[in-house]
Structure 1
Amino acid sequence: MLNQYETVFICTPVLSEPQVKEAVKKFKELIAENGGEMIHEEDWGMKKLAYPIQKKSTGFYHLFEFKADPSFISKYETEFRRDERVIRFMTVKLDKYAIEYSNKRKKLQKAKTEQEG
């Protein structure tokens, strides 16, 4: 039984754009290799942190929404802890209300992009 999860992680600001993309690709591939299914991905870009982390005040934010086996999450989070490019991460299991909210949010984003384009 696959559960739906959402992970937001912050990469250190000293990385170049290709290095951030490489880190994102690594975690995306990790999900796929372990039988997970990527649902949605967002690149929020460089943002100011609410408080300094490791003496840094900004970071590259990225969001993954995916389905995976519950046993995979501990392995997934271990990889985040080992990767020096990631300064913070958080994975949450989405319940039916969070999934519904996420779908509404994606629809609104899509409508907004279509209006601009």
Structure 2
Amino acid sequence: MPRRYETIFITPADIPDEELHTLIERYSAIITGRKGILVKVEKWGKRKLAYEIKKHLRGYYILLDFAGQTDVVNELERNFKIDDKILKYMTIKKEDAVDLKVLEAEINLPAKETKPEEAIVPSAGPEKAEEEKDSVAPADAETSG
């Protein structure tokens, strides 16, 4: 049975967008070419590295969430080692056994259920409480002084 994995890899921050897109397509093709299922690709963007890696202080982070056999991970990591554009990578196992039907339902489900009304909107409660504190504090200061 296939397992579920997450791989994060870091490229130099100054990589052109078209080259970044090519890298993502290449690694996605490795996953699907070995009968794996690509659940999602997240571009986390440019971030400061905790320490210098191959003379780079900033990197572009990309997350691949996928399911497949161990040979998918082995081939993916073999390609990461060869590629000079990959500064660092890490793969973790999320689940031991994954039902492909459930996984495919998970892939299709968020796209159908997402509605604009359900977008995350910051709550007005704490902001109003802070505004009330600000408006009350000057009044108290004037009367006590």
State the TM-score, normalizing by the size of structure 1: 0.80
Q: Counterpart of 1:69?
A: 69
**Structure with the largest fraction of helix:** 2
**Aligned residue type for 1:76:** L
Alignment RMSD (CA, Å): 2.3
Residue 17 of structure 1: how far off its partner (Å): 1.1
Greater gyration radius: 2
**Aligned residue type for 2:48:** K
Deviating beyond 4 angstroms after TM superposition, the runs of 4 or more aligned structure 1 residues are none
Q: 1:62-88 deviations in whole A, cap 9, x for unaligned?
A: 001100111221111000111111100
**Structure with the largest fraction of strand:** 1
**Aligned residue type for 1:75:** E
Return the match for 1:114 from 119, 123, 140.
119
Whether 1:24 and 2:29 are equivalent positions in the alignment is no
Q: Counterpart of 2:55?
A: 55
Q: 1:40-60 deviations in whole A, cap 9, x for unaligned?
A: 221001111011101110011
Q: Counterpart of 2:6?
A: 6
Distance 1:95 1:33 in 2: 21
> Please, which runs of 5 or more residues in structure 1 have no aligned partner?
97-102
**Aligned residue type for 2:20:** V
Residue 21 of structure 1: how far off its partner (Å): 1.1
Cα pair 2:6 2:94 within 8 Å, conserved = yes
Aligned-pair identity (%): 26
State the TM-score, normalizing by the size of structure 2: 0.65
> Please, which runs of 5 or more residues in structure 2 have no aligned partner?
97-105, 122-145
Q: Counterpart of 2:140?
A: none
SS in 1 for 2:119: helix
Alignment: residue pair count: 105
Highest relative contact order (Cα 8 Å, sep 6+), 1 or 2? 1
